[in-house]
């Protein structure tokens, strides 16, 4: 179990974590969500004793991390993807970590097999891809077979098969009674992985709630109603004061009324239904709605105060000085500048006498000048193959 009580961390005038309290229970996967700059990574570092809190406390099974004997047997953490020497082989990297916590060396082979790195264990870790590096760091976290796992963006760099494997691994770990605290920006993955959510923004707690409850409470849910008698159903809903709208395909989206009540209303009037289905907002939609005011970095346009000031442009009368570009008085070629007197071709310069057409024009009966010689041109036409 992880317990944070009024946890606070300041860096100078910046408050990274602000009076944060929550509990991470065993037996479930707890997702740790928040916008960029919300304080998630700082909170995880405070849990692991890598930063000292300005105020408050955070305990692991009732004790501070620094007081744990052989901490890898209590907590396994994946915070940095490349937290290893690139020139060291993966198996050697895991062996020295195991030795530092009194973990038998045979455990190294077990975790390598668990994360699927047995075949490349003797390769230098610096040549690993991002996904392989993630697996290596997870193997290090599993060495002590800890009860608690802290995972920061564990699926980064994994392929679809690896993401599915990681999801099932975390769920199985929790089902065995372990505690899993996982931070991720992949909300679609968190929606199918996390049982519970801790959501923060600007270092403060926004929500501490089961995942299904958080999504169901979102304002984006509605009941989809499709019928060949949609106009009559629309009239009934209007009479009942229900909130609804038309979908692009003609179906009705009814809000604030449960699907069962809509079905009963339609049945009372003998109308036909082709579809009656509750629709819930996605975790992503619910998350964006609840954290909108806590977003530190916005996209889609410049932030307030960023950009050119009002009436931005060149100063008045900006341009070249008066008269710029005109030559000064008297500027030009010196007097007498030009070719010397009598300059031109020498006497008799030109084609020799008789150069050009022969006297009397072209020979009698010959082709006019400029025509191709006799026989020059396209070949004579022959009938197509099989004809003539």
- How far, in Å, CA of 217 to CA of 231, rounded? 29
pLDDT at 376: 58
pLDDT at 219: 61
pLDDT at 303: 45
- How far, in Å, CA of 74 to CA of 102, rounded? 13
pLDDT at 314: 45
Tell me the pLDDT of the chain averaged across its residues: 83
* CA-based max dimension of the chain: 123
pLDDT band at residue 107 using 50, 70 and 90 as cut-offs? very high
Q: Please answer whether residues 175 and 146 qualify as being in contact, where contact means their C-beta atoms are separated by less than 8 angstroms.
A: no
Of residues 303 and 288, which shows the higher confidence score? Answer: 288
pLDDT at 282: 80
Mean per-residue pLDDT for 154-183? 92
Query: Tokens at residue 145, please?
Result: 């077979």
- How far, in Å, CA of 132 to CA of 128, rounded? 6
Query: What sign does the CA torsion over 177, 180, 186, 187 have?
Result: positive
Q: Please answer whether residues 39 and 45 qualify as being in contact, where contact means their C-beta atoms are separated by less than 8 angstroms.
A: no
Apex CA 158: angle with CA 174 and CA 31, to 5°?
35
Output the pTM of the full model.
Answer: 0.67
pLDDT in tens, 27-60: 999 999 999 889 999 999 999 999 999 999 999 9
- DSSP E strands, 184-307: 196-201, 204-210, 222-226, 243-246, 252-255, 275-279
% the chain with pLDDT above 90: 55
Coil, strand or helix at 277: strand
Judge residue 298's burial from the number of C-beta atoms within 10 Å of its C-beta, 0-12 exposed, 13-18 middle, 19 or more buried: exposed
Of residues 335 and 146, which shows the higher confidence score? Answer: 146
Q: Which residues contact 369 (CB under 8 A, 6 or more apart)?
A: 357, 362
Mean per-residue pLDDT for 179-203? 93
pLDDT in tens, 208-258: 999 988 887 776 678 999 999 999 999 999 998 998 999 999 999 998 888
Judge residue 2's burial from the number of C-beta atoms within 10 Å of its C-beta, 0-12 exposed, 13-18 middle, 19 or more buried: buried
Of residues 361 and 112, which shows the higher confidence score? Answer: 112
pLDDT at 304: 45
- How far, in Å, CA of 363 to CA of 359, rounded? 10
Q: Which residues contact 334 (CB under 8 A, 6 or more apart)?
A: none
pLDDT at 136: 93
Q: Please answer whether residues 182 and 194 qualify as being in contact, where contact means their C-beta atoms are separated by less than 8 angstroms.
A: yes
pLDDT at 81: 75
Mean per-residue pLDDT for 261-287? 89
H and E: helices and strands count for the chain: 10, 13
pLDDT at 25: 96
pLDDT band at residue 157 using 50, 70 and 90 as cut-offs? confident
pLDDT at 371: 57
Query: Is residue 109 predicted with pLDDT exceeding 50?
Result: yes
pLDDT at 311: 44
What's the Rg (C-alpha) of the chain? 41
pLDDT in tens, 295-353: 655 555 544 444 444 444 444 554 555 655 555 666 666 666 666 666 666 666 666 66
pLDDT at 158: 86
């Amino acid at each position: 179990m992880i317990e944070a009580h009024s946890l606070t961390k300041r860096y100078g005038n910046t408050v990274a974590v602000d009076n944060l309290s929550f509990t991470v229970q065993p037996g479930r996967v707890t997702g740790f969500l928040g916008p960029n700059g919300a304080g998630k990574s700082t909170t995880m570092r405070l849990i692991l004793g890598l930063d000292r809190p300005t105020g408050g406390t955070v305990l692991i099974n009732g004790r501070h991390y620094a007081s744990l004997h052989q901490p890898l047997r209590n907590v396994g953490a994946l915070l940095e993807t490349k937290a290893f020497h690139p020139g060291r082989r993966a198996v050697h990297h895991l062996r020295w970590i195991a030795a530092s916590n009194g973990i038998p060396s045979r455990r190294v082979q077990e975790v390598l097999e668990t994360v699927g790195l047995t075949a490349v264990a003797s390769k230098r870790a610096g040549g690993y891809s991002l996904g392989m590096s993630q697996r290596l760091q997870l193997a290090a976290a599993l060495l002590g077979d800890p009860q608690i796992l802290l995972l920061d963006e564990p699926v980064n760099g994994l392929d679809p098969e690896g993401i599915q494997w990681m999801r099932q691994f975390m769920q199985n770990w929790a089902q065995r009674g372990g505690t899993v605290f996982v931070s991720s920006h992949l909300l679609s993955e968190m929606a199918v992985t996390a049982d519970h959510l801790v959501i923060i923004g600007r270092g403060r707690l926004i929500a501490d709630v089961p995942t299904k409850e958080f999504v169901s409470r979102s304002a984006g849910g509605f009941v989809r109603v499709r019928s060949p008698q949609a106009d009559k159903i629309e009239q009934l809903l209007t009479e009942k004061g229900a909130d609804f709208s038309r979908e692009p395909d003609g179906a009705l989206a009814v809000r604030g009324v449960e699907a069962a009540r809509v079905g009963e209303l339609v049945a009372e009037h003998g109308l036909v239904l082709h579809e009656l289905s509750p629709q819930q907002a996605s975790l992503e939609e619910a998350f964006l709605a609840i954290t909108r005011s806590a977003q530190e970095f916005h996209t889609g346009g410049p932030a307030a105060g960023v950009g050119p000031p009002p009436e931005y442009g060149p100063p008045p009368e900006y341009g070249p000085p008066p008269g710029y570009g005109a030559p000064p008085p008297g500027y030009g070629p010196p007097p007498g500048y030009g070719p010397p007197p009598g300059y031109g071709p020498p006497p008799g310069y030109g084609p020799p006498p008789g150069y050009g057409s022969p006297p009397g024009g072209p020979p009698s009966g010959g082709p006019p000048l400029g025509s191709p010689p006799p026989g020059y041109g396209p070949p004579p036409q022959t009938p197509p193959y099989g004809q003539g």
